[in-house]
A and B are shown apart, each in its own frame.
Chain A
Amino acid sequence: MKICLIGDSRLGAIKLALDERLVDAGKHEISFFAAVAGRARNFKFTKAAIRPGAVSDVAFSTEGKFSDVRADAFDVLVFYATEFEFGRWARPNIGSIEQRAHFTDAFLAQCVEMKIANSFCMRFAYLASTTPGWPTKLIVCPAPAQAAPRDQLDEGPPLLDVNYLNAEADRLCKDIGVRYVPQPAYTLTPDFYTDLSYSIGSRRYIAGHPTHPSDDRNHMNAAFGALMLRDILAALD
């Protein structure tokens, strides 16, 4: 099958995993269409294609062969990580564990639902699933949770259980006929950070593949990319 992964710079981990043959795509032909940080918001969905707001918005696409994602060019579309970040908003960034008392479960549940439903991933997956001529195999993946060394974990446990977040995402994806592929549970620490081993050595997908700054916690390495791609391919079976 011809598969296109659409997202942002975090797709670099998966592309590097493929380039370095850490994962075998088998009979599948995999392409990438990634935006420069934040510019996936500029992507436009039309009946015929997903187009960037400007050519400069495209961080990388497979071999630079295409400047948009045409509706009839692929069998599978994977919307990866864009505006779908449990790691950013489920962290207790409001402070200590006592502050969990500020928010009722009903409030948090509605925040979760709206955040997921309004993410780029979900909006574009919905448009693709309801527009004739687009692939019927659609997958949504969350952004990997932030990674942090153990000595920085002073914020307390996450506000919401990761299983709950994944269940909500799965439910909302099913509502629109889309498959949800979560971040593998074994890559997460109990307090909902990505284990640091999956972040160390992450590299940018530009010439020379330089490593990200040492304090970068949002980009994962090729080993993580390989794990995610395996799960994505498994979801097609």
Chain B
Amino acid sequence: MKHSSAHATHPYQNRPVRAFWKTAVAGRSGGELVDLWQPKSELKSTTRIATFGSCFARNIGARLVARNWGWINAEPAPDFAPEMIADAFGYGHFSARTGNIYTTAALLQWLGWAAGQSAPVDEVWPYNNRWIDPFRGEIEPNGFESPAILLQSRAVTIAALRKAIESADVFLFTLGLTEYWSNAETGAVYQTCPGTRGGRFDATRHQFNQARTANVLAELDAARDLLHHINPALKLILTVSPVSPSATMTEAHILTAASHSKSVLRAAAGDCAATHVDVDYFPGYELITGALAGEPRYAVGQRHVAPAAIDMVMDHFFAAACDDAPKEPAAKSAQITEDDECDEAYYAAFAPDAP
């Protein structure tokens, strides 16, 4: 029903098309949405972007490369490395070989190391007569041959992380999880639970954490401070991974736990962006999880996102560019990040048989 504009004196009267579900979303697929995101800061194909975060962020870096955007790779594989081997050893996934950084607590820990404000603990986890890095478990597929080599490699990555921050215009971080494990004695935040892949679980030392919205927001603010300590001009873009956690330690059903986790992350990211002019939120999460028409956006298993849907998400990102950046990829889209490439998916191996 149309209302006469003569009687419309309320604030909604002059809202743009994008402000109304009926005109902006109803009946539309993600690819058909228009005017979805207006970056706070100018975004160009020459903008130097560093990407980190949960496994969904791997898709972002790959697509920036495919479109010849200025993706920063501060820890590249050597020229002689075959692509398949480099990929298996975690090169080219993120702007440094940090592996997946699922939580804001872990991000803060990495940034503290990069800023030189704290030193990583010397903890390493035994694994099949080799050694796993508790903070980037998948980086060396079969584990490191000695703790010394592991720590040396980690130091290289920390230096590369700092270099990525120093050389970036934009730090794009994808928030993934709220549940995580830490060491009660040292405070170290682990990438995955000790014992699931390497290490030995010790209930007296290993502590489960469930970040609340206030925690995530505080950690984002602290992370922003550390980033600006290294690079005062840096802008942040936050996204939330639409990939659900593979398991929960809460008493909730995993579906409920996943919804809670993503809601917390989404709310904190939104709050952080609303607070700071140099922090933006890119709505990739909504494009995948929103009530939109069109093809299914998840791959089999309903955790990971279908490649076509990732392309659709990134089309919106690239559409926001203010220059003549190529709108189509120069190379074939990268493959989907599969479950077995996601450290956190190790939890799924411990699931009991379904009833």
Which residues of A does B touch, CB under 8 Å?
88-90, 93-94, 101-107, 110-111, 114-115, 118, 159
**Smallest CB separation, A96 vs chain B (Å):** 13
Contacts of A114 in B (CB 8 A): 82, 84-85
Residue of A nearest to B75 (CB): A102
Q: Which of B81, B89, B144, B149 has the most CB of A within 10 A?
A: B81
Mask of B115-158 contacts with A, CB within 8 angstroms, 1/0: 00000000000000000000000001110110001001100100
The reply to whether B149 and A111 contact each other, CB–CB distance below 8 Å, is: no
Can you report 19 residue pairs joining A to B where beta carbons are below 8 Å apart?
A: A88-B80, A89-B78, A93-B78, A93-B80, A94-B79, A101-B152, A101-B156, A102-B78, A104-B144, A104-B153, A105-B145, A106-B140, A106-B144, A106-B145, A107-B85, A107-B89, A110-B85, A111-B78, A114-B84
Closest to A114 in B: B82
The one of B78, B88, B142 in contact with A103, judged by C-beta atoms closer than 8 angstroms, is: B78
Q: 4 closest pairs, A vs B, by CB?
A: A89-B80, A114-B82, A94-B78, A110-B85
- Further 10 A-B residue pairs, CB within 8 A, beyond A101-B156, A111-B85: A93-B79, A93-B80, A94-B78, A104-B140, A104-B149, A104-B153, A111-B78, A111-B82, A115-B82, A159-B78
Which B residue's beta carbon lies closest to that of A109? Answer: B85
Enumerate chain B residues within 8 angstroms of A103, measured Cβ to Cβ: 78
Residues of B near A88 (CB, < 8 A) are: 80
Residue of A nearest to B84 (CB): A114
Q: How far is the CA of A122 from the CA of B140 in the complex (A)?
A: 27
Min CB distance, A234 to chain B, in Å? 30
Partner of A89 from B79, B88, B141, B145 at Cβ < 8 Å = B79
Residues from chain A with a CB closer than 8 A to the CB of B140 are 104, 106-107
Rounded to whole Å, the gap between the CB of B163 and the closest CB of chain A is 12
Instruction: Give the residues from 263 to 321 in chain B that come closer than 8 angstroms, CB to CB, to chain A.
Output: none
B85: chain A residues at CB < 8 Å are: 107, 110-111, 114
A95 → chain B closest CB, angstroms = 9
In the bound complex, what is the Cα–Cα distance between A212 and B17 (angstroms)? 68
> How far does the Cβ of B97 sit from chain A's closest Cβ, in whole Å?
9
* B interface with A by C-beta (< 8 Å): 75, 78-82, 84-85, 88-89, 140-142, 144-145, 149, 152-153, 156
Interface centre among B78, B141, B142, B156 (most CB of A within 10 A): B78
Bound complex: CA of A110 vs CA of B84, how far in Å?
10
- Closest chain A CB from B79 CB (angstroms): 6
Say how far A173's CB is from chain B's closest CB, in angstroms.
Answer: 19
A115 closest partner in B (C-beta): B82
With a cutoff of 8 Å between Cβ atoms, the chain B residues found around residue A93 in the complex are: 78-80
Complex Cα spacing A124 to B61, Å: 36
Whole-angstrom distance between the Cβ of B90 and the nearest chain A Cβ:
10
Partner of A90, one of B75, B80, B88, B89: B80
Contacts of A159 in B (CB 8 A): 78
Residues in A with CB closer than 8 Å to B88 are 110
Residues of B within 8 A of A94 (CB): 78-79
Query: Residue B80 contacts which of A101, A102, A105, A115 (CB distance < 8 angstroms)?
Result: A115
* A111 touching B144 in the complex, CB below 8 Å, given contacts A101-B156, A102-B156: no
Whether B82 pairs with A118 at a CB distance below 8 angstroms is yes
Pick the contact of B142: A89, A102, A106 (CB < 8 A): A106
Closest approach, in angstroms, between the C-beta of A94 and any C-beta of chain B?
5
CA distance in complex: A101, B79 (Å): 16
Q: How far is the CA of A62 from the CA of B296 in the complex (A)?
A: 61
A105–B153 Cα gap in the complex (Å)?
12
Q: Is the CB of A101 within 8 A of B153?
A: yes
How many Å lie between the Cα of A105 and that of B145 in the bound state?
A: 8
The CA-CA distance from A106 to B141 in the complex, in Å, is 9
Distance (whole angstroms) from the CB of B127 to the closest CB of chain A: 13
Q: Which residues of A contact B81 (CB under 8 A)?
A: 107, 111
Chain B residues closer than 8 Å to A90, beta-carbon distance: 80
Q: Counting chain B CB atoms within 10 Å of each CB, which of A101, A104, A115, A159 scores highest?
A: A104
Most central of B88, B89, B141, B145 by chain A CB within 10 Å: B89
Which B residues touch A102, using CB under 8 A?
Answer: 75, 78, 153, 156
Minimal Cβ-Cβ distance residue in A for B142: A106
Q: How far is B129's CA from A159's CA once the two chains are assembled, in angstroms?
A: 25
Bound-complex Cα distance A89 to B81 (A):
8
Could you say which residues of chain B place their CB within 8 Å of the CB of A110? 85, 88-89
Q: In whole Å, how far is A157's beta carbon from the nearest beta carbon of chain B?
A: 15
Q: Residues of A contacting B78 with CB < 8 Å?
A: 89, 93-94, 102-103, 111, 159
**B82: A residues at CB distance < 8 A:** 111, 114-115, 118
Q: Determine the distance from Cα of A88 to Cα of B145 in the docked complex, in whole angstroms.
A: 27
Given contacts A104-B140, A106-B140, contact A111 B156 (CB under 8 A): no
